[in-house]
């Protein structure tokens, strides 16, 4: 097994954010995930969307 597993303890510099989304928004996220070449997980797709939004809105980084 040459590739490092992504499972295990989360990084210490992160926090969990739990939220409920309408079914149609989840379906839209899933549709967008399938358009990616690497098929990210839902959490990863949401991370990417947030990162892009923060860049587009020029939000200050803390």
The single-letter DSSP state of residue 14 is -
What the block records as the tokens of 19 is 């939220």
33, part of any domain: yes
62, part of any domain: no
What digits encode the pLDDT tens for the residues 9-53?
878 899 999 999 999 999 999 999 999 999 999 999 999 999 999
3, part of any domain: no
Average pLDDT (48-61) is 86
Residue whose pair of structure tokens reads 């969307």 in the numeric block: 49
Q: Alpha-carbon distance 61 to 55, whole Å?
A: 10
Q: Domain count of the chain?
A: 1
Range of the domain at 29: 23-56
pLDDT at 11: 81
Confidence at 6, pLDDT banded by 50, 70, 90? low
Confidence at 1, pLDDT banded by 50, 70, 90? very low
Backbone angles phi, psi at 58, to 5 degrees: 55, 40
Judge whether 43 and 50 are in contact, CB under 8 Å: no
């Amino acid at each position: 097994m040459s590739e490092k597993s992504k499972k295990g303890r989360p990084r210490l510099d992160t926090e969990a954010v739990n939220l409920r989304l309408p079914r149609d928004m989840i379906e839209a996220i899933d549709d967008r995930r399938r358009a990616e070449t690497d098929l990210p997980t839902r959490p990863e797709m949401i991370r990417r969307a947030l990162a892009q939004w923060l860049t587009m809105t020029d939000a200050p980084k803390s």
